[in-house]
Amino acid sequence: MPSMDDTMLSPLLTITLRTLWICGSALILALLVGVPIGIALGSRQFVSRGLLVSSVNAGMGAPPVVVGLIGSILLARSGPLGELELIYTPYAMILTSTAIALPLVIGLTLAAVGSLDAEWDLQVRTLGIGRRWRIWLLVREIRMGLLAAIIAAMGGILSEVGAVRMVGGNIEGETRVLTTAIMMHTSMGEYEEALGQAAVLVGNMLVLAGLLTWIQQSGRSRG
């Protein structure tokens, strides 16, 4: 595992980097898993599709605190995945954040695929190109929707506090991230620290959302 000497960096910077590391990893995992599922659900017809789509839609509104509870039970040493010894580690937080982001990614990918013109699929098929190339064209076609999915998922997990507190434990130097640190400092009446961290969190959110929006807008202008 990558690691840097904590003393080299200020605590605020360390916490910020850890926050971005956990959110970034969870986002990538959620995209790797969620986009293919979303495309499959969106572009094929099969018997249980309706049920799956409605559970994805329900999952998009799943309360993160419930995800945290289930994660805590599963990952605790006494739980079914206890052998992995993941509870109270950053990896538990990545998994939980992934679980929170996944329905958003699947749901928005699904919506983007669904919004494609019915003609589009037919056109691509009549071109007689291979399946792999067809999927690539599809991904290109729905890229606006995918960026919306990334923005939504990122906002969701970057601002999440309850679930990551439950599975991470807010351990100093290990699992303390910006949101859990803000909550802890506020509960202890240390408003200066909490405000500083809040400013960094909001700043990160603005920069990342701005970057993604810029990519989205410039992508759109090229049509």
Partner 1 sequence: MFRIRTVLLVAALWALAIGAPPSADAERSLILATTTSVRDSGLLDALLPRFTETSGIGVRVIAVGTGAALRMGREGNADLLLTHAPSAERALVDEGVVARRTPFMQNFFVIAGPETDPAGIARMGSPAEAIAGIVEKRTCWVSRADDSGTHKREKALFRDAGLAPNLERDGLIRTGSGMGLSLQIAGQRRCYILSDIGTFLAFQERVHLVPLSQPSPSLRNVYSLLQLDESRFARPLHREEAEALEAYLLSPSTLEEIGAFGRDRFGRALFTPLTPADAPMQPKP
Instruction: Copy the structure tokens of residue 207.
Output: 């920069």
Q: Cβ(2)–Cβ(141) under 8 Å?
A: no
**Can you tell me which of 35, 89, 141, 156 binds partner 1, judged by CB under 8 A?**
89
Stretch that binds partner 1, among 50-58, 104-112, 115-123, 182-190 (CB under 8 A): 182-190
DSSP code string of 129-172:
--HHHHHHHHHHHTHHHHHHHHHHHHHHHHS--HHHHHHH---T
> CA-CA distance, 161 to 124, in Å (whole number)?
44
Residue 171 touching partner 1 (CB under 8 A): yes
Site membership for partner 1, residue 192 (CB under 8 A):
no
Tell me: does residue 33 bind partner 1 (CB under 8 A): no
Count of residues of this chain found to bind partner 1 when the rule CB under 8 A is applied: 43
Are 108 and 149 spatial neighbours (Cβ–Cβ below 8 Å)? yes
Task: Give first-to-last CA distance, the chain, whole Å.
Answer: 41
x/- mask, partner 1, residues 36-75, rule CB under 8 A, reads ----------------------------------------
Interface pattern 108-147 for partner 1 (x via CB under 8 A): --------------------------------x--x----
Piece in contact with partner 1 (CB under 8 A), picked from 36-44, 57-65, 113-121, 186-194? 186-194
Task: Find out whether 116 and 191 touch, Cβ atoms under 8 Å.
Answer: no
Q: What is d(CA 63, CA 68) in angstroms, rounded to the nearest whole number? A: 9
Binding site for partner 1 (CB under 8 A): 1-6, 9, 14, 17-18, 20-22, 24-25, 27-28, 76-78, 82-83, 87-90, 140, 143, 169, 171-175, 187-189, 211-212, 215, 218-219, 222
